[in-house]
Amino acid sequence: MNAEPTTVSVVIPYLNEEEALPVLYERTCKVFDARPEDVEFLFVDDGSRDGSFEWVCRTAERDPRVKYLKLSRNFGHQAAITAGMRHATGAAVVTIDADLQDPPETIPDLIAKWKEGFEVVHAIRATRRGEKGLKKFFAFAFYRIFKKITEVEMVSDSGDFRLLDRKAVDAISSLREHHRYMRGLASWIGFKQGSVLYTRDPRYAGEVKYTFKQSLTLALNAIASFSGTPLRLIFYLGGWICVGSMVGAIASWIYHFRTGQPQHIGTVTLAFATLFITGLQMFCIGIIGQYLRRVFDEIKDRPLYLVQSQNF
Ligand code: UDP
Ligand code: MG
């Protein structure tokens, strides 16, 4: 029997990457020339204003493996990845940055792991070359904190370079939430998760497209979408302030009556009373937060579970 070769889709979201795209394409072609799998390129134009899209159109004309989507404006990296994944047809889908920070030569490692049976394979950055100290520090701190406060097992130091099996792609595509943090969702869906290490190269050409503000928004989005800890924090903090201020007030009354010290008991009581009210308000906001969290979860409408396999 002559089985059809499997197809691996490579989804490439890009914003003004005209210098990097041809090199990425060449290097990826070379990788797949040496492999039994077929490749399907899916270039997603996220509102580019340079010649990137024209290059993609020209390439698509001479290479039938090249497909493209052009979004009507800049919707952001995460939306562009989502669009690409929804239209990819391969048995596995690799998402990769266009700026060559993720070397396409790592794709065979991802595929090898997939062939071992892993349905989500994260590429983990062993080192980050060419990134500035502060960004590295923030990324390091973010992943550590994020991992601590999320309810789902998350991998640290993975970007949006990963391979997803068809099952995983379909699962993620079925999620309807708007604020999409793909790294989180790729972990959240479960299935068999694996990872490979790679060295993150410096950007090939052009400017970083993620501004500091966008990175911060992504980080906040990640926390708000995957963790209820900040809300719980208000709840507990408020509660503890209430308890602490009551204990403080009682202690100072006892001290006052025992020693008969001429201290300003009225002022002290007032101070603790103010603190108590503040704590009570925080506590109440925390309660509202707990309900809000549930409303938020209902609205996100993630499935309650996903099935990996069944025998009926
Ligand atoms: N990108 C995009 N839309 C955006 C911002 C970025 O499609 O609004 C693409 C960009 O072209 C690149 C990838 O997302 O292929 C990662 O962006 P960048 O290299 O600027 O971010 P970093 O490497 O710092 O995470
Ligand atoms: Mg980059």
**For residue 1, is pLDDT > 60?**
no
How far apart CA 161 and CA 98 sit, in angstroms, is 10
- Mapped onto helix, strand or coil, the DSSP state of residue 14 is strand
270 alpha carbon – ligand 1 mean position (Å): 54
CATH number of the 7-211+303-310 domain: 3.90.550.10
**For residue 3, is pLDDT > 80?**
no
Could you give phi then psi for residue 27, rounded to 5 degrees? -65, -35
41 alpha carbon – ligand 1 mean position (Å): 18
Show me where the domains of the chain are located: 7-211+303-310, 229-300
Instruction: Kindly report the number of other CB atoms within 10 A of residue 229's CB atom.
Output: 13
Q: Using pLDDT thresholds of 50, 70 and 90, give the confidence band for residue 311.
A: low
How far apart CA 95 and CA 179 sit, in angstroms, is 18
Any ligand 1 atom below 6 A from CB of 81 = no
96 alpha carbon – ligand 2 mean position (Å): 10
For ligand 1, atom 2: residue with the closest CA? 77
Any ligand 1 atom below 6 A from CB of 55 = no
How far apart CA 25 and CA 266 sit, in angstroms, is 76
Best mutation site among 10, 14, 15 for ligand 1 pocket (most ligand atoms within 8 Å of CB)? 15
Any ligand 1 atom below 6 A from CB of 75 = no
For ligand 1, atom 19: residue with the closest CA? 208
How far apart CA 260 and CA 253 sit, in angstroms, is 10
Any ligand 1 atom below 6 A from CB of 45 = no
For ligand 1, atom 21: residue with the closest CA? 210
Average pLDDT over every residue of 260-265: 73
Any ligand 1 atom below 6 A from CB of 69 = no
Q: Per residue in 267-279, pLDDT tens?
A: 888 889 999 999 9
Q: Which atom of ligand 1 is nearest to the CA of 98?
A: 15
Tokens of 221: 């989005």
The DSSP bridge pattern shows strands 7-14 and 66-70 to be unpaired
Q: Which residue, chain included where needed, has tokens 């983990």? A: 124
- pLDDT, residue 2, reads 55
Best mutation site among 17, 143, 157, 210 for ligand 1 pocket (most ligand atoms within 8 Å of CB)? 210
Any ligand 1 atom below 6 A from CB of 183 = no
- pLDDT, residue 106, reads 95
Ligand sitting nearest the alpha carbon of 101: 2
CA 108, chain centre distance (Å): 23
Q: Per residue in 121-144, pLDDT tens?
A: 999 988 766 667 777 888 888 888
Q: What amino acid occupies position 16?
A: N
Q: Per residue in 290-310, pLDDT tens?
A: 888 888 888 888 887 777 766
293: Cβ–Cβ under 8 A, 6 or more apart, which residues?
Answer: 228, 231
Any ligand 1 atom below 6 A from CB of 83 = no
Tokens of 155: 């991998």
Ligand sitting nearest the alpha carbon of 210: 1
182: Cβ–Cβ under 8 A, 6 or more apart, which residues?
Answer: 78, 81, 82, 95, 160, 172
**For residue 263, is pLDDT > 70?**
no
Ligand sitting nearest the alpha carbon of 209: 1
Q: Using pLDDT thresholds of 50, 70 and 90, give the confidence band for residue 58.
A: very high
- How far from 244 is each of 42, 162, 167, 285, 306, CA to CA, in Å? 58, 48, 51, 18, 44
Q: Quick check: 181 and 109 in contact, CB under 8 A?
A: no
- Residue-wise burial string across 71-104, b where 16 or more C-beta atoms lie within 10 A, e elsewhere: beebbbbbbbbbbbbebbebbbbbbbbbbbbbbb
Any ligand 1 atom below 6 A from CB of 215 = no
The residues with which 38 forms a beta bridge, in sequence order, are: 7
Ligand sitting nearest the alpha carbon of 46: 1
Q: Which atom of ligand 1 is nearest to the CA of 14?
A: 11
272: Cβ–Cβ under 8 A, 6 or more apart, which residues?
Answer: 245, 246, 248, 249, 252
